[in-house]
Structure 1
């Protein structure tokens, strides 16, 4: 996970959240802590944010990738999962980015993207993919987007 080395440490910023694509994004304060474990084989990304109605929340994403860029992660968030974590798979891309996804509730999909910072900004985005069987033509939309700076 050396590719995420630029993210190591403490971050603070804002998190935008919406439940459905027609909802307005609600912004709250957010923090992020990135650390490495298992000899640098795993990156742990812990974060906090606040839901507009349900208050303070926290989440954690633990991700690792093999030499071919195949990534696996364990993710849980106090608002999104009750109880238990999700297992996501994806890729660690050469541009210092990790893209992960998992299906849930049948044919819904959840995607998480982590961008390594090149401009001093940490980015963690979560997209929800609405299946055609539920509502045709909606597809993917950003449900959460956390942006933070060191500090």
Structure 2
């Protein structure tokens, strides 16, 4: 199944809540969020989103291609707070449950690269959930971001 078909339930304009934390011991901080999920160039899904860090507006973009076949899914991700000024490349799959699971990595100041996972899942009743996990070498992965877009605009 093509990525366009996999994410069809998430297509549209959405509002919701973005929660994030820097460390696994930190409390989540919530802000209002929006997402625009569209098909672009017939074969790609673009997930453009906004949120805020205090009074500072933030935005991000996840561009996905591929499908659930042997070729898997690939993506490019950029976010004004998380990845700026570089983008990250991801590879992954779409599970039988319809969840897109992506894994990428980024350079750490010292030592080996750290990992970053992004999961995109349809939400029952419409909309979607985007979850991001930080993968610190030698530590258990932890959820850094959860955004739920469940109110159609």
The correspondence for 1:116, drawn from 122, 134, 144, is 122
Secondary structure in structure 1 of the residue aligned to 2:7: helix
Kindly indicate whether the alpha-carbon contact (under 8 Å) linking 2:49 and 2:61 is maintained by their aligned counterparts in 1. Answer: yes
Q: Name the CA distance, whole Å, in 1 between partners of 2:127 and 2:40.
A: 23
Which runs of 5 or more residues in structure 2 are unaligned? none
The correspondence for 2:30, drawn from 21, 27, 31, is 27
Kindly indicate whether the alpha-carbon contact (under 8 Å) linking 2:6 and 2:98 is maintained by their aligned counterparts in 1. Answer: yes
4+ aligned runs moved over 4 Å, structure 1: none
Compute the displacement of 1:117 (Å): 2.9
Which runs of 5 or more residues in structure 1 are unaligned? 133-137
Relative to the length of structure 1, the TM-score reads 0.89
**Residue 68 (str. 1) matches residue 66 (str. 2):** no
Compute the displacement of 1:83 (Å): 1.1
Q: Name the CA distance, whole Å, in 2 between partners of 1:99 and 1:109.
A: 13
Q: Name the CA distance, whole Å, in 2 between partners of 1:121 and 1:62.
A: 17
Residues 111-120 or 73-82, more deviating: 111-120
Measured against aligned partners, the alpha-carbon deviations of 1:79-117 in whole angstroms (never above 9, x if no partner) come to: 012212110001112221100011212331100000023
**Pairs within 5 Å for 1:1-150:** 1=3, 2-39=5-42, 41-52=43-54, 55-66=56-67, 67-68=69-70, 70-105=72-107, 106-132=112-138, 138-149=139-150, 150=152
Secondary structure in structure 2 of the residue aligned to 1:139: coil
Compute the displacement of 1:121 (Å): 4.2
Count residues in correspondence. 144
